Structure 1
Amino acid sequence: MASTSNTILLASLLLLLLQTNAQTTPSAPAPAGPSGPVNLTAILEKNGQFTTFLRLLNTTQVGNQIPIQLNSSSEGMTVFAPTDNAFQNLKSGALNDLSVQQQVQLVLYHVAPKFYSLSNLLLVPNPVRTQATGQDGGAYGLNFTGQGNQVNVSTGVVETPINNPLAQTFPLAVYQVDKVLLPEELFGTPAPGAAPGARPRGVSGGDTDSTVDSQPAGPTAAPNGAGGRNLGRGFGLAVGLGMLCFLGALF
């Protein structure tokens, strides 16, 4: 009886030891997941032709805000990245003429607060809202057209095809564009000037009306009128004296 009890006790201890050993043995590594948050800067640096856009992302602090928004949003994000050549083709001083706030709006105009694949961009209703929308009350929308695999983006000032997807996995899509997307709110076409040849009245320059208006009519007409009146009075006085002489001769 004692031997049976000892056997049961030993079996219980052996089972407990095996369970404890199983709990302390390291488990097999889990399948590797994402290495970390999506890194827009790394995507652009890898390509090597977005130096100016990266600098603007840094100086405007937009580059620091994008990862925060990606981690807090379920909609994802889409970035349209202009190449260095795109910036070089801008009018000289175009960026320097912008205030700090306008530079922020320009960068935000290249970011849509939702993930769009190329096929989505052909289906989404225009205009598509960007991150610049609402910064100063402007619309700051983008319009997309095209067919098949060809998608064009238009701002109302410039239009360019979307050529090269740099990243297209949720939550971040990044597309290369060969022109800087210039919003109408900042780079709209200036209003047309006055029609050529039109001059204000009274300004010299060969205009017939202005020549007539610049000559005073009063002084030239007044002497002629006064002379006419004096001549009329003198003629009437001579006629009157002649009549008196004629009557005097009769009587």
Structure 2
Amino acid sequence: MSNKMSPHFLTFQLSLLLIFLLCTTITTTIAQPAPAPGPPPPTNITKILEKASQFTTLIRLYGITKVGDQINTQLNNSQQGMTVLAPPDNAFSSLAPGVLNSLNDQQKDELIQFHVLPTFISTAQFQTLSNPLRTQAGDSTYYNFPLNITTNGTSVTLITGVVNATLQNTIYTDGQLAVYQVDKVLLPMNLFGPQPPAAAPAPEPEKKKKKKTGDDDTPATDSTVSSSVDLRIGMHGLMGGLIGFIAMFYL
């Protein structure tokens, strides 16, 4: 009997080895757990607006005022959420020439902060909000930074006292940040509205005029009355003494 293996037997053994190795590789691959998903990237309002396009002017103002950095910091360090009202480039271009350039740095900051609400507001929540809305610009009294809304079905109108703007569409929302496109730049009363009327000065108290001595209607004081009585008593005493002295010569 020959000890030499036939070619068919060798091929069979190699096939078994290959099947074993293949099964081992598949089993190892299946047994390995899938890697855990990494943390989501931090929210960046500038990248959101860049992706949406047509917000070049707003992005530039975010950089000048640092409001973009403030939004990102607050979103990534708070659970309160935020809502951004974003006017597109054509809304800024429809402003009167030189309007933005006429504002100083603080006024530009107030203008952009006026477009940020410090809580997350869904489109449905606009139907139940109370006026005035509080913005990042602060004081919501009439001559400062009031922002009111009216709704008609799904239509939302934003009223500043200077302009009425319409909420057009949702650019981004994730339950923490909502970004809505508006058709006009929201111009606050403090920067673009009529100034409050100046308060009228308080009337000065009337000063009593001093009357000249000897006026007929000058009221008599206690000292004047006392002097007059003393003078009358003195005159009566003098006359009585004089009459008595004359009577001595005739008696």
Partner residue, 2:100: 95
Q: Secondary structure in 2 aligned to 1:144?
A: strand
Q: 1:28 aligns with which of 2, 24, 34?
A: 34
Tell me the TM-score normalised to structure 2 length.
Answer: 0.61
The letter of the residue matching 2:51 is: K
Q: Secondary structure in 2 aligned to 1:122?
A: helix
Q: Secondary structure in 1 aligned to 2:128?
A: coil
Tell me the TM-score normalised to structure 1 length.
Answer: 0.61
Return the alpha-carbon distance in structure 2 between the equivalents of residues 148 and 122 of structure 1.
8
Partner residue, 1:105: 110
Return the alpha-carbon distance in structure 2 between the equivalents of residues 107 and 125 of structure 1.
22
Structure 1 unmatched runs, 5+ = 1-24, 193-251
- Residues 20-58 of structure 1: per-residue CA shift (max 9 Å, x gap): xxxxx964222x365312221111111210000000000
Return the alpha-carbon distance in structure 1 between the equivalents of residues 196 and 134 of structure 2.
26
- Residues 67-125 of structure 1: per-residue CA shift (max 9 Å, x gap): 11112222100000011010011011111111110000001000000000111112111
Q: Is the 8 A contact 1:76 1:114 kept in 2?
A: yes
- CA distance 1:109–1:38, shift in 2 (3 Å): same
Structure 2 unmatched runs, 5+ = 1-30, 198-251
Q: Secondary structure in 2 aligned to 1:35?
A: coil
User: Identity over the aligned pairs, expressed in percent?
Assistant: 50
* 2:194 paired with 1:189: yes
Return the alpha-carbon distance in structure 2 between the equivalents of residues 77 and 178 of structure 1.
20
Alignment coverage as a number of residue pairs: 166
The letter of the residue matching 1:131 is: Q
Q: 1:119 aligns with which of 113, 117, 124?
A: 124
Q: Secondary structure in 2 aligned to 1:65?
A: helix
Partner residue, 2:91: 86
Q: CA deviation at 1:141?
A: 3.1
Q: 1:165 aligns with which of 170, 175, 184?
A: 170
Q: Secondary structure in 1 aligned to 2:84?
A: strand
Q: Is the 8 A contact 1:133 1:141 kept in 2?
A: no
Where do 4+ consecutive residues of structure 1 move more than 6 Å?
A: none
Return the alpha-carbon distance in structure 2 between the equivalents of residues 110 and 29 of structure 1.
41
Question: Highest CA radius of gyration, 1 or 2?
Answer: 2
